[in-house]
Amino acid sequence: MALVASALDIQGAVSASDDMHSLAAWSSLAHARLALELEAELGRQLTGEEVAGITSVSAVAKLLG
């Protein structure tokens, strides 16, 4: 998922099974960047619950539908 790789500044691909524990680049700052990029992609603000739920690549995919 290119959006996750971009937000986390990862060169190359990430897989659907990757999560915040398996990706060293997934810091609190990267999490905030990811939330902002998701908001831009969706054209709306995320709820606090949605931001807290962004813990994996599959969770990002679910938000994007």
pTM of the predicted model as reported, rounded to 2 decimal places: 0.93
Map residue 32 onto helix, strand or coil: helix
**Position 52 confidence tier, pLDDT thresholds 50, 70, 90:** very high
Those residues with Cβ within 8 angstroms of residue 2's Cβ, 6 or more apart along the chain or in another chain: none
Q: What is the rounded CA–CA span in Å between residue 14 and residue 2?
A: 8
Tell me what pLDDT residue 6 has.
94
User: In this structure, which topology does domain 2-64 adopt according to CATH?
Assistant: 1.10.1200
User: For residue 19, what is the DSSP state?
Assistant: B
Helix axes 57-64, 28-42, angle to 10 degrees: 20
User: Is pLDDT above 90 for 13?
Assistant: no
